Amino acid sequence: MTWRTVVLTKDCKLSLRMNHLVVKSDEVTTIPLSEIGQVIIDNPNIVMTGHILNKHKITTIISNERHIPYSQINLIYGHFRQAAIMKQQFTWKAEHKDILWQQIIKHKILNQKNVLQAFDKQATLDHFDKYIDQVELADETNREGHAAKVYFNHLYGMNFIRGRDTPINWALNYGYSLLL
């Protein structure tokens, strides 16, 4: 049963011994491979061999110098269900994709409204309902972007800008990378 996320932040060497991941740094730690769902490598000085993660289909995420997940190693073979779904999605008609995207954006805006209501029960958030009603096919009018700006201004203040190099944006980027 895979349930562990192994986060590696110190210089170390990874090896495999008797179906266990062996992490050698200041001390030696062993973890059963069958329990590991993903490994996050947050240090450029970690040495490992490729076969360690293949046998048990362990996803590996590698962070960049700002500690933001930057790349992900997934198996090409072994995830047949995912590949079948992707093949099916490639054949969808453009209209079907546009309708689906419209529904995703509507739900995203509704979730933003719900989060804001959870933090501030007295807030007037009727404008989010208007944004939801205004979402067109494929969100051609960018209601998603407008609602996101209003959402972040409610959460972090009117001076907050999503693209700036700030600790809040670093944390948001990190969270989005993990979700992705």
How does pLDDT run across 137-154, given as a tens digit for each residue?
A: 999 999 999 999 999 999
- Where does a domain end: 79, 107, 136? 79
> Do the domain assignments include residue 87?
no
- Could you tell me if 105 and 143 are in contact, meaning their C-beta atoms sit under 8 angstroms apart? yes
163 and 121 part of one domain: yes
Q: Which residue has the tokens 């992490």?
A: 23
> Do the domain assignments include residue 85?
no
- Where does a domain end: 44, 79, 114? 79
Question: Which tens digits make up the pLDDT trace of 15-59?
Answer: 988 889 999 999 999 999 888 888 999 999 999 876 666 666 788
99 and 60 part of one domain: no
Sheet with 59-63: list strands edge to edge. Answer: 4-8, 36-41, 59-63, 69-73
Phi, psi of 20 (to 5 degrees): -125, 145
> Do the domain assignments include residue 86?
no
Question: Which tens digits make up the pLDDT trace of 3-25?
Answer: 789 999 999 999 988 889 999 99
Host domain of residue 69: 4-79
98 and 68 part of one domain: no
Ramachandran region of residue 57, left (φ > 0), alpha (ψ -120 to 50) or beta? left
52 and 102 part of one domain: no
Q: Which residues pair with 69 in a beta bridge?
A: 63
DSSP helix/strand/coil, 20: strand
| CA 108 – CA 132 distance, rounded (Å) | 9
> Do the domain assignments include residue 84?
no
Lowest mean pLDDT among 125-129, 150-154, 161-165: 161-165
